[in-house]
């Protein structure tokens, strides 16, 4: 189900739009104003619905935008609200977005459930179906208004993933935390040359090797990956097997999914979520 519910309020603020004359000198010739302040809520999904919300408004004769939802995570950390001042191109995009919402028909063809509502002090627009927003849909507006914030988020995520892969690289001895049951594992880093028989090895390019036959045996698994954008840090060890000449897998083993509850250079604690086929 997809929903989009903006609230529009009247406002007056303007920004001088920079233009250049024939000599290349920057001059200011034209004012651009936000047509109306608005709050936009956008719901997307079917069984799992993700709620987006942003607000655009005037304050101190400037135009501002706040990203309110969702929280974009890097590990268990997030920037709760993004607050930015808009330039003339972003203000124009907001105006085009409002005009597009007003121009769309009330009913469009749909293969899934889509619902759009636009509310102003003077009218209410109800738009059903997969209408053609072109390049003026919610996600375009969100990414253009908060472009620098998304770049900062990516840098934070990349830095965290680099830190995690660097920490995991090496051999780890595996034990079960006896006081919490078999759903939690503790990994202790092994020194070079250690002969501990129950170990996992993480190496560069997200490679994985298991030398443990007693705890979650995964002898054919070769890869792992990390998810760090859902409010937790997830470790996914892929299922493995041997591919025959007939393109059939034999000697298969399931993978496993974990939450990394804590980590350091010498110890990692994992919560087992489920085995992955």
pTM: 0.79
Q: For residue 260, is it within any domain?
A: yes
pLDDT per position as a tens digit, 215-269: 999 999 999 999 999 889 999 999 998 877 777 777 789 999 999 999 999 999 9
Q: For residue 45, is it within any domain?
A: yes
To 10 degrees, what angle do helices 147-168 and 138-145 make?
Answer: 80
State whether 101 and 197 are in the same domain.
no
State whether 255 and 146 are in the same domain.
no
State whether 115 and 232 are in the same domain.
no
Question: Residue 18 has what pLDDT?
Answer: 57
State whether 145 and 225 are in the same domain.
no
pLDDT per position as a tens digit, 83-122: 999 999 999 999 998 899 889 898 888 766 666 666 666 6
Question: Residue 115 has what pLDDT?
Answer: 64
Instruction: Report the distance separating Cα 121 and Cα 29, nearest Å.
Output: 32
- For the stretch 160-184, what's the b/e string if a residue is b when 16 or more beta carbons lie within 10 angstroms of its beta carbon? bbeebbebbebbbbbebeeeeeeeb
Q: In this model, does residue 11 exceed pLDDT 50? A: no
Q: For residue 164, is it within any domain?
A: no
Across 163-276, the runs of DSSP E, i.e. the strands, are: 170-176, 184-189, 199-203, 207-210, 224-227, 234-237, 240-243, 249-253, 255-263, 267-276
State whether 8 and 133 are in the same domain.
yes
Average pLDDT over residues 69-84: 90
Question: Residue 222 has what pLDDT?
Answer: 95
Domain boundary among 124, 159, 194: 159
Question: Residue 6 has what pLDDT?
Answer: 41
Integer CA distances (angstroms), 179 to 27, 204, 261, in order: 71, 33, 16
State whether 129 and 48 are in the same domain.
yes
Question: Residue 274 has what pLDDT?
Answer: 82
Q: For residue 173, is it within any domain?
A: yes
Confidence of residue 271 (pLDDT cuts 50, 70, 90): very high
- Provide the domain count of the chain: 2
Confidence of residue 270 (pLDDT cuts 50, 70, 90): very high
State whether 208 and 233 are in the same domain.
yes
State whether 59 and 88 are in the same domain.
yes
What would the two tokens of residue 22 be?
A: 């024939």
Average pLDDT over residues 3-22: 50
Average pLDDT over residues 158-162: 95
Average pLDDT over residues 137-144: 92
State whether 23 and 112 are in the same domain.
yes
Contact of 272 with 185, CB cutoff 8 Å: yes
Domain boundary among 130, 159, 188: 159
Domain boundary among 112, 139, 159: 159
| Beta-carbon contacts of residue 151 (< 8 Å; ≥ 6 apart) | none
Share above pLDDT 70 across residues of the chain, in percent, rounded to a whole number: 80
Share above pLDDT 90 across residues of the chain, in percent, rounded to a whole number: 47
How many helices and strands (H and E) does the chain possess?
A: 3, 21
State whether 63 and 94 are in the same domain.
yes
State whether 101 and 131 are in the same domain.
yes
Contact of 23 with 50, CB cutoff 8 Å: no
Which is higher by pLDDT, 178 or 83?
Answer: 83
State whether 126 and 232 are in the same domain.
no
Average pLDDT over residues 208-220: 92
Q: For residue 229, is it within any domain?
A: yes
Mean pLDDT across the chain: 83
Q: Which domain holds residue 174?
A: 169-276
pLDDT per position as a tens digit, 43-68: 776 777 788 888 899 898 899 999 99
């Amino acid at each position: 189900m997809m929903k989009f519910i903006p609230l529009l309020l009247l406002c007056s603020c303007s920004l001088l739009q920079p233009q250049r004359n024939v000599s290349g000198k920057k001059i200011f010739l034209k004012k651009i104003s936000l047509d109306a302040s608005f709050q936009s809520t956008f719901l997307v999904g079917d069984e799992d619905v993700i709620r987006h919300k942003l607000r655009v408004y005037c304050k101190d004769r400037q135009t501002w935008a706040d990203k309110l939802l969702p929280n974009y995570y890097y590990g268990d950390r997030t920037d709760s609200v993004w607050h930015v001042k808009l330039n003339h191109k972003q203000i124009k995009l907001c105006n085009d977005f409002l005009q597009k919402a007003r121009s769309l028909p009330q009913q469009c063809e749909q293969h899934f459930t889509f619902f759009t509502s636009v509310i102003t002090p003077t009218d209410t627009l109800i738009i059903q179906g997969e209408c053609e927003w072109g390049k003026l849909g919610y996600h375009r507006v969100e990414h253009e208004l908060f472009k620098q914030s998304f770049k900062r988020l990516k840098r934070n995520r990349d830095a965290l993933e680099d830190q995690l892969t660097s920490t995991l690289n090496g051999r780890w001895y595996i034990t079960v935390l006896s006081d919490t049951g078999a759903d939690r594992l503790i990994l202790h880093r092994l020194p070079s040359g250690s002969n501990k028989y129950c170990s996992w090895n993480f190496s560069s390019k997200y490679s994985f090797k298991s030398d443990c036959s007693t705890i979650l045996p995964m002898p054919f698994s070769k890869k792992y990956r990390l998810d760090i954008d859902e409010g937790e840090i997830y470790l996914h060890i892929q299922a493995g097997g041997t591919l025959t000449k007939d393109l059939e897998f034999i000697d298969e083993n399931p993978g496993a999914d974990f939450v990394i509850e804590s980590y350091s250079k010498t110890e990692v604690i994992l919560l087992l979520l489920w085995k992955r086929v």
